[in-house]
Structure 1
């Protein structure tokens, strides 16, 4: 009897200890964040640490190779350094640190390659933009006349090439002549400006206060004006030489029609391939369709409005016999792509040019014509042509113009609004997806679950 009681008393603590060991709600403390980080660090072997350190060194070497131009006899270049880093980190591709290095290095290498191949990519990007803008025309031709896609592509390519050739043959000589005459008149008018400043009392007043020396200020102003006037024909020559250095004018003239034909014919496949490169939002890419619609409507509408503005301003200034009417009209049409700031810059440039070379009356005519064109654009053209607005706040438009203009210059001003529309649309899609995920995470419990509990 005593032996049985003793055995039972000895078995009780053992069972209690077993239950305590198996009970998850026991007093054992959970591992801390420091313990988890230490255990994760212990799992990285010395060999893997050496590989990651080598990847960091090669990433820094990649940055150095991109920043410092390589010597002619140097064997290393950014693609080779990037390839070495990818091979070095490939065994560790499942670790976050190695993936971060590979992704950042790949992104930098991609941007460097695009920068180096920019002159080659310009014709392809321009042709794809034309195909993107002309795709609705392609659909209309196929729907109305039931033409095959290759026939519609051939017809549109011929029309585009013929129109561009006609514009170049008609406008290019007139623009070149007006630029030449403008540079000569600016150079000849420098002496008149110097004489006007010398006769003015402004420099005398500043000279009497001891702030400036009159003759020295006149010489500096004259030299500055001469340098700026000489830059106009040099800029035109630089644009012509840069266009000739892409692949050669003849090569581009022969290449662009072929590229445009194939881009129009295979546009759906090209669009699907490019769309597949972008990330998904909620498993879909609806934000790309929405952003593409916004950008397409904006670009097509702005192109039509800019063409109308250039034609109206040029014809009106020609009828009023304003000097350099064609240059002012082309500048008005080109700067019309820049919202809000474009009209102001056109008015300042056109008014100043007409005042210096035509007097107060011509300057007043230029400003009046540009104001009338702006009123026509805001009241008639924009509501009827841009039926689908971009949907950006004016302050955001100004901020994007200043930001892109500071980093990319004139090209940044042209792409600021459509690119901002794409970014805003992508952000809205991401925010909606995040809101849905947070709603599912913190939503109300299922009634069946509540009843079962």
Structure 2
């Protein structure tokens, strides 16, 4: 007993003799390594279960987007199952209608596109060889290597068929999960809260409500911003006479779900199509239009549409997108920023509740900030 006490006291005296900066570095490094190991393990598990992970993420995003519609139907005395089914049918109608509209408006352009692209590629080749220190032979060799690389990376028919079947199964899973989440979201959340203790239940309610509201606000805000980008750039492409303006607008809309990087890539695709089909002058005009629309969206519309609790610093966004891309590819890039925003607001809510409890009078329960939890009428899907 005395030997154990002496040994413990010796360790304490040894730690006390260390500089405070070194002690802070040791503790911080240990915590960082533990957190990083946990995140890495979760990311590897999610990557191994990629179809299920993507389906669950898509279900949560769609539920956060469609939750107000289902809640509105339930407030008008629609049964939960019927409200969830009507919301799901509305989503399918919008998707199918958008696909049919894009195909009808662009099918006639494919016949002329090959001729325009051939002429545009010839003009682009002449422009590059005259403006840059590149010979026509070097350009042809680089083009041949790029085409060969794309052909070698293309999947074989068996792999392509398996990928299509996997995507169809994941889509069906998303629809089924979305229906049950819209229908039974409140009982699911109440079951989760029932597994927590009476002391931690209010904090879990507040944190869950903050996370769900953040996800809903992020999803709806991102859809609105992506739609504004797509409409603005699409109108510019139509005015400039760039072929396939509507599919390019759809690509811009999808790229809007990957902050900063997605908009840049989608704009680059539009510029390349304008360069190949219409020449350098049109490409420069397309680039100017893309930059103007994105600057208007980033500096004016995003602060108005996105709530302050959802907005993250651009450095955090870039780091999150890069980490998500490295861990999960394109799917990781899509979900990295909303996950970061949700985690940040959940931790912020827990910290605020703990501070409120610490400043509460002794012997009296803390009065937490007024927030609608996930079990309230506007808190969670299916509530």
State TM-score, norm by structure 1: 0.58
Q: Determine if the alignment matches structure 1 residue 168 to structure 2 residue 99.
A: yes
Distance 1:287 1:260, change over 3 A: closer
Q: Determine if the alignment matches structure 1 residue 390 to structure 2 residue 321.
A: no
Q: Determine if the alignment matches structure 1 residue 119 to structure 2 residue 51.
A: yes
Separation (CA, whole Å) in 2 of partners of 1:396 and 1:242: 36
Within 5 A, what are the aligned runs for 1:442-453?
none
2:244 to 313, 320, 324: 324
Alpha-carbon offset, residue 255 of structure 1? 5.8
Q: Determine if the alignment matches structure 1 residue 224 to structure 2 residue 224.
A: no
1:264 to 168, 182, 197: 182
Separation (CA, whole Å) in 2 of partners of 1:331 and 1:320: 18
Alpha-carbon offset, residue 401 of structure 1? 2.2
RMSD over aligned Cα, in angstroms?
Answer: 4.7
Give the corresponding residue for 1:356.
276
CA contact (8 A) 1:142 1:149 kept: yes
Distance 1:406 1:113, change over 3 A: closer
Alpha-carbon offset, residue 139 of structure 1? 1.4
Separation (CA, whole Å) in 1 of partners of 2:189 and 2:212: 10
Alpha-carbon offset, residue 363 of structure 1? 1.2
Q: Determine if the alignment matches structure 1 residue 313 to structure 2 residue 233.
A: yes
Give the corresponding residue for 1:134.
66
* Structure 1 SS opposite 2:286: helix
Higher relative contact order (CA 8 A, sep 6+): 2
Alpha-carbon offset, residue 418 of structure 1? 1.4
CA contact (8 A) 1:190 1:222 kept: no
Distance 1:165 1:252, change over 3 A: farther
Kindly name which structure, 1 or 2, has the bigger radius of gyration based on alpha carbons.
Answer: 1
Give the corresponding residue for 1:300.
220
Separation (CA, whole Å) in 2 of partners of 1:280 and 1:242: 48
CA contact (8 A) 2:64 2:212 kept: no
> For this pair of structures, how many residues does the alignment match?
334
CA contact (8 A) 1:335 1:342 kept: yes
State TM-score, norm by structure 2: 0.67
Give the corresponding residue for 1:346.
266
Separation (CA, whole Å) in 1 of partners of 2:276 and 2:181: 47
Deviation string 1:15-48 (CA, Å, 9 cap, x unpaired) is xxxxxxxxxxxxx9674353899xxxxxxxxxxx
Alpha-carbon offset, residue 322 of structure 1? 0.9
Deviation string 1:90-114 (CA, Å, 9 cap, x unpaired) is xxxxxxxxxxxxxxx9999987665
Separation (CA, whole Å) in 2 of partners of 1:366 and 1:125: 34
Q: Which runs of 5+ in 2 are unaligned?
A: 11-36, 361-383
Deviation string 1:288-343 (CA, Å, 9 cap, x unpaired) is 32122122101111112212322332243124311231232122212222333333
Separation (CA, whole Å) in 2 of partners of 1:415 and 1:282: 28
Alpha-carbon offset, residue 404 of structure 1? 2.1
